[in-house]
Amino acid sequence: MCVVAHYIDDNWKIQTRVLGFLELDPPHAGIVIADALYACVTDWNIETKIMSITLDNASNNDGAIKALKAKFFYRRGNDFEDQYFHIRCCAHILNLMVQDGINVLDNLIKSLRETVKYFKRSPSRLHAFVDTCKSMGVKVGNHLHLDCQTRWSSTYKMISTACQYKEALTSHDDSNANYAWAPTNAEWDMHDLISPLLKSLAEVTKAFSGSLYPTSNIFYPYIVGVKIAIKHAIDSDSEHYKQMGEEMLDKFDKYWEERNDSMVIATIFDPWYKMNYIEWAFEELYGKETARFRNEMSDVKKELEVLYDKCVAQDKLAGNGASSSSTTTSIPSIPVQAGYQSFLSARSTRVSKSELRNYLGDEVAAADTCLDILDWWKINAPRYPIMAKIAKRFLAMPATSLSSESTFSTTGRILDAYRSSLKPVMVEALVCVASYIKGTHVDLNMVPRDENEEDDVETIKLPVVEEIND
C-alpha cells in the first residue's frame, strides 16, 4: 500500500510526497488498511492536518474509511470534518462506467478485434493490406492496434486507428475470401458514432490524472460534460448507442448523482468558475425549475458560509493566542460588557462574510488569463486572506488515487539484478527518499499515460512507411 501526501506550500505550489510504501499481510480487510494508514500518519504526526483521503472504489476501502472516521473523530473531536473526508477515485469510477457501456457493444468490438488479429498473424497479410492502401490512395501512417479487453482506453485506441483505414479494410474484405471478420458498413457507422464519445472520456481520464495542477476544481466541469455526452447518446436514433448510454448513466447516477461537497467547494474556489458554474452545473444535472435545484443551491451557500465562519473563528483564536503570549508588561484590566463583546463578534462575522460576498460578486477571471489557478490565488491571497486559507485546503485534494498507483511503476528502477532481495522496509525507504529528493511530486509525467497504455495495447506495425501523395 502506498500513502502519498498532497498539499499546497506557502509559495502556492502543489507538493506531493510518499509517506509510506507498506507491505500489508492478507487479508486486506478494511480494518487492516485503516490501522496501517492511521499508523503511517501518526508516525509523521500529521493526523490533525488530514482533510481528505482518496481511495479506489472498493468495498474494503469503504470499510477502511468507516474505521478511519472513528479514529480521526476520537483524535480531533468537532474539528474533524467528516463530510469532506472520503474521496472516491474519479478515474476508477469513470473506468467502471465506460466498461459497462462497452460491454453492450461486445459483438461489435469483437469483430474489429478479430480483424486486427487476422493481420497480426501473418506478415504477408500485412503486406497485402498495405498494397490495398496504396491502390486506394489511403495514407499509411498510424499502425493498427490490438486492445486489451479489460482496458477500455486500449479499445478506444484500436477503434480510432482502425477507422482511419476503414475504406482499405472494406476493400480488402471484398478481394480476399479468407478475410471473414471485417466489420460491415453498419458496424463501421457504429464505430464512427461511439469513437467521439470514447475520445472525450479518454480526455477526461487524462485530465483527472494530472499531478502538476489541482484536479478537485475541474471535477464538476468534466463530469457535467460527461453527463451531457451520455444524454446525447441516449437521445440517439441508434438502439445500441442508446443502450450503451443508458448503461453508463446507471453507473454515473450510482456514484455521482449525489452532490460531492468537496468538489463543489473546490470548483467555487476556481476564479474562472466560482458560484456561477455551480449554478449552471446544477441546472444541467437537476433541472432549473426543480425543488432539487433550489435545495442544492441553498445547501451549498449555507455550507460556504459555515466554512468561512469557522475559519474566521480559528483565525481569531490563533491571533488571540499569539497576542497574549507576547504580552510582557502588566496593564490594568478594563471591564468589557458582555453585550459589547457580542457586538464585536457579530461585526467580525459580517466583515468576514463581506469578503465572501466580494469574491463571489467579483467578475470571474477572463478565460484567456495566462495565470494558472494557484498563481491567481498567490497574487490575490492578500485581497482574500480568509478565502485563500480555505482554497489551499480544497485545491490540494486529488480527484484520483493515481499518484499512489504511479509510485509502483518506480519498482523497476529500485529492484534490479543487484538489488533483488531487499526487505520491505528498505524498499519503502528507497521509494520515500526518491520522492523527497525530487523535491516536488510523485510526478505522473515521469510515466506518461500514453506510455503506460502501451502495456495494454499490442501494436501491429505496418511494414511500409511510404506516404501516398494526395
The string of pLDDT tens digits covering residues 236-265 is 999 999 999 999 999 999 999 889 999 999
- Mean pLDDT for 162-186 is 78
Burial class of residue 287 in the structure, from the number of CB atoms within 10 Å of its CB (0-12 exposed, 13-18 middle, 19+ buried): exposed
Whether 451 has a pLDDT exceeding 80, the answer reads no
266 or 184: which carries more pLDDT confidence?
A: 266
Inform me whether the pLDDT recorded for 323 exceeds 70. Answer: no
Whether the Cβ atoms of residue 136 and residue 171 lie closer than 8 Å to each other: yes
Confidence of residue 148 (pLDDT cuts 50, 70, 90): confident
CB 431 within 8 A of CB 300: no
CA-to-CA distance for 235 and 243, rounded, in angstroms? 10
Weakest mean pLDDT among 108-117, 326-335, 424-433:
326-335
Reported confidence tier of residue 427, pLDDT bands at 50, 70, 90: confident
The amino acid sitting at 339 is: G
Residue 35 pLDDT level (bands cut at 50, 70, 90): very high
Q: Which three cell numbers, joined as nine digits, stand for 58?
A: 472498493
Taking the C-alpha atoms of residue 134 and residue 363, their distance in angstroms, rounded to an integer, is 56
Q: What is the DSSP letter of 217?
A: G
Q: Which three cell numbers stand for residue 294?
A: 433550489
pLDDT band at residue 332 under the 50/70/90 scheme: very low
- Return the exposure string of 300-316: e unless at least 16 CB atoms fall within 10 Å of the residue's CB, then b: beebbeebbbebbeeee
Residue whose C-alpha is closest to residue 207's, from 196, 218, 191, 198: 218
- Residue 269: band (very low, low, confident or very high) from pLDDT cuts 50, 70, 90: very high
Res. 346 pLDDT band, cuts 50 70 90: low
- Would you say residue 443 has pLDDT above 90? no
Q: Count of H helices and E strands in the chain?
A: 20, 6
pLDDT value, residue 341:
47
The answer to whether the CB of 118 falls within 8 A of the CB of 179 is: yes
Confidence (pLDDT) at 407: 57
Phi-psi region of 287 (alpha: psi -120 to 50; beta: other; left: phi over 0): left
- What is the per-residue pLDDT for 410? 53
Report the run of H or E that residue 267 belongs to, with start and end. helix 261-268
Question: What is the pTM assigned to this prediction?
Answer: 0.80
pLDDT in tens, 194-244: 999 999 999 998 888 877 788 899 999 999 999 999 999 999 999 999 999
User: What is the DSSP pairing of strand 86-88 with strand 53-55?
Assistant: parallel
Q: Which pLDDT score is estimated for 462?
A: 65
DSSP tag of 212: S
72/370: higher pLDDT: 72
pLDDT above 70 covers a percentage of the chain that reads 81
| Phi, then psi, of 124 in degrees rounded to 5 | -65, -35
Q: Which residue blocks in 47-105 are alpha helix, DSSP H?
A: 59-76, 90-104
User: What pLDDT is stored for residue 460 in this prediction?
Assistant: 67
Q: Round the average pLDDT of the chain to a whole number and report it.
A: 82
Q: What is the mean pLDDT of residues 384-401?
A: 93
Higher-scoring residue by pLDDT: 443, 124? 124
At CA 373, angle to CA 403 and CA 226, rounded to 5? Answer: 65
Q: Average of pLDDT values for 313-340? A: 51
How many other C-beta atoms lie within 10 A of the C-beta of residue 45? Answer: 8
Residues 6 or more apart whose CB falls under 8 angstroms from that of 458 comprise: 120, 145, 146, 147, 148
What is the band of 465 on the pLDDT scale with cuts at 50, 70, 90?
very low
Question: Given pLDDT bands bounded at 50, 70 and 90, which one contains residue 331?
Answer: very low
- Owner of C-alpha cell 492502401: 133
Rounded-to-integer distance, Cα 457 and Cα 158, Å: 8
Domain edges within the chain: 1-88+401-442
Task: Identify the pLDDT of residue 419.
Answer: 66
Q: Is 79 left (phi over 0), alpha (psi -120 to 50) or beta?
A: alpha
Distance CA 403, CA 383 (A): 33
Which pLDDT band, with edges at 50, 70 and 90, does 128 fall under?
confident
Helices (H), 121-184: 123-136, 152-163, 166-175
Say what the pLDDT of residue 298 is: 95
- Cα dihedral 9, 38, 256, 258 in deg (nearest 10): -100
Instruction: Give the Cα separation of 449 and 460 in Å (integer).
Output: 20
> CA 169, CA 260: separation in Å to the nearest integer?
46
Is pLDDT above 70 for 448?
no
**Per-residue cell: 359:** 469574491
- Listed in sequence order, the residues at least 6 apart from 94 whose beta carbon sits closer than 8 Å to its beta carbon are 201, 204, 205, 208, 226
